[in-house]
Structure 1
């Protein structure tokens, strides 16, 4: 694109060519390739297709690499292929919690409408945020008759957000576009802190202010003001990996694979289409929208009237667990149902802590722990329903 064309494009976006917009259009980002098993109208993945790259590592080897200093984004876990028993647990939990999830999605969607209006851009953080973003988009379309743009982009703890993805969206929708970031749940709040820092860095570089508000279905960590619930319950999409997230892997940022003009990467496991439940998950939740809409609106109105405090309360839980078990590295403690699921599916767990053994949200946690031979212990008083503790591979206990 010539400098004249670039200035014209900038003028179309804002009506005024200024320094900030010129920086935004100084490097035009190429459009993404189609990826994922969702309908293209549901979400656009701003990710580089790494289908041909050999990135998966056995769980133990990957854990050893992470604990020796290799960043987790430079490799992928070998995806867990669920047993029939585990898949049945997913379907059972989906049936049992569909209305609860729908109410949470509806509530956070209503909050987004009230805070950001009906001209915002939904930006899901891949990959746990993607199913929730699809659900929010469908709710707003159903209730308000507006199809919001929805993208899925990468954010990586310790490395930041995909700047090229941010630039692409602003080039498409204008420098003043209202980006609403979306994730599935909060744990310790690491991604929330990463997002805050990324928005600050983007403003310093481009002079464009982005809202670091993170809309989540569940906020047991008490680190977001835009949430559907703060209860730490089983979100069925946390039970599975790629097969409930549009057949996409978690995101990758590795030198030699991702260049300066690329989006962060991801593998599209299109050979798993036969066991893909991404659309099934969305449709089961979506079927309850009409039933929960009024309760969700009431919740959103109350949240706007009395904004909830962001206390980062979940961090105190982590410190208690660290003190009780002599754990020096906070990153070995993964709080909440979603994060504990990840520990059991992707890492080498040492033990699982639960608030109580009869917690109805922990069926899949108990089954995974049983299948992997991981001990489960009660830790009364947890803010979260459970915590997963990763086993250190230095020969000792945490």
Structure 2
């Protein structure tokens, strides 16, 4: 197991430690179309990276506007999750963000706990990959360095629940293999798919960090698991895009939201208590919407259906979209989706029969790329 940590990312080191192998020197990006063909012909998405989308000035204006509009809402949701985690684990809390969408959320939760309870809990960001599992070397590292810690897994939002399922499966296997008792509970800011254990809201709303890629996630790429560069004792890999430092808004994003924390401490505490009292097992209701969409649009592979604001944004930023479905009347809250769709020439259709505000459909290979 590796003990060497590559210092990557643009966050202050006290905010997060990335347990990721630095692949910055490796050329691993493919064009969107080339990557899509590879994925749909059987290459795993984690073996390559998309070329980073460079946002237009108009798109960045939308990002700043959405951040200003939602900063208190995001702060409240992050605070509610932080309160629930800290009430459960206290000083033994070890935050573990799932890179990369979970990383900004984990940083916010760490800062909330520090500001309110004056305790600096450890925070790591590690890789989990659909169909390939969690980075067991990273788990071993955390267990070695925090033998009495309670690891709390954090992600940004839920869509279909693919990562929730992967986490459950991976942790069960890990516990059996190593005779450990890790919990596979996952905490997210927003849970429109109704498949998370701890959440700040069920609402499918725009979390501004979903609008951008590495420039709001510490300049870190998606995670990579390719045996050309990742050995059995390595952490999963990622690239650190230092060349994008002038466009980096990672710390600005965190500080804009964290400034709201003192004004929502009491409300977050009340919300957390209410959410815990009303807590029910996830019912995975989002999957009903997915199945309806799959049948109606003749899609064989549900991996080509990406529900929710966060996942729809990702489709437009780094996949080959076929069409975007939006709830009637949701246009005002989905301006960045509409702008991206317009820029890429992707048709947008109103669609009522889903539990999400929008859904991105990836073009199946048989419909020609």
TM beyond 0.5: yes
Selected match of 2:116 from 123, 137, 143: 143
The answer to whether structure 1 residue 225 and structure 2 residue 197 are counterparts is yes
Offset of 1:357 from its aligned partner?
4.2
Higher alpha-carbon deviation: 263-272 or 300-309: 300-309
SS in 2 for 1:209: coil
Partner of 2:91: 118
CA contact 2:98–2:154 (8 Å) conserved in 1: yes
Counterparts of 1:1-398 in structure 2, within 5 Å, are: 28-174=1-147, 176-395=148-367
Q: Distance in 1 between matches of 2:279 and 2:2?
A: 37
Q: Which protein is bigger by CA-based radius of gyration?
A: 1
Aligned length: 369
Looking at structure 1, the residues matched to 90 and 16 of structure 2 have their Cα atoms a distance apart, in angstroms, of 19
Superposed displacement of residue 274, structure 1: 0.4
Whole-Å Cα distance in 1 between the matches of residues 197 and 247 of structure 2?
A: 35
**C-alpha distance in 1 between matches for 2:120 and 2:278:** 29
Stretches of structure 2 lacking an aligned partner (at least 5 in a row): none
1:202-261 CA-to-partner distances (Å, cap 9, x unmatched) read 111100011111010000000012000010000000000000000000000001200011
User: Shift in Å at residue 118 of structure 1?
Assistant: 2.5
SS of equivalent residue, structure 2 residue 92: coil
Distance between the aligned counterparts of 2:193 and 2:40, measured in 1?
25
Q: Is residue 2–residue 235 contact of structure 2 (8 Å, CA) maintained in 1? A: no
Q: Is the 8 A contact 1:103 1:289 kept in 2?
A: yes
Once residues 304 and 368 of structure 1 are traced to their aligned partners in structure 2, the CA distance between those partners, rounded to angstroms, is 37
How much has 1:316 moved relative to structure 2?
0.5
Q: Which runs of 5+ in 1 are unaligned?
A: 1-27
Q: Which moved more, 1:387-396 or 1:217-226?
A: 387-396
Shift of 1:382: 1.8
Distance in 1 of aligned mates of 2:18 and 2:201:
27
Give secondary structure in 1 for the equivalent of 2:271.
Answer: helix
The whole-number CA distance in structure 1 between the counterparts of 2:342 and 2:2 is 47
Residues 254-289 of structure 1: CA distance to partner in whole angstroms, max 9, x if unpaired? 012000110000000011110000000000100111
- Could you tell me how far 1:314 is from its partner in structure 2? 0.5
Q: CA deviation at 1:302?
A: 1.4
SS in 1 for 2:121: coil
8 A contact 1:122–1:182 mirrored in 2: yes
Deviation of the 1:347 alpha carbon: 0.2
- Distance (Å, rounded) in 2 between the aligned partners of 1:132 and 1:361: 21
CA positional deviation for 1:149: 0.2
Query: What root-mean-square deviation, in Å, do the aligned CA atoms of Structure 1 and Structure 2 show?
Result: 1.1
1:88-134 alpha-carbon deviations (Å, 9 max, x no partner) = 11001000100100010001111111122222100000000000000
Tell me, yes or no, if the aligned pair for 1:29 and 1:167 is still in contact at 8 Å: no
Is the CA contact 1:359–1:385 (under 8 Å) kept in the aligned structure 2? no
Q: CA deviation at 1:29?
A: 3.0
Displacement of 1:358 in angstroms is 3.8
* Cα pair distance change 1:358/1:384, threshold 3 Å: closer
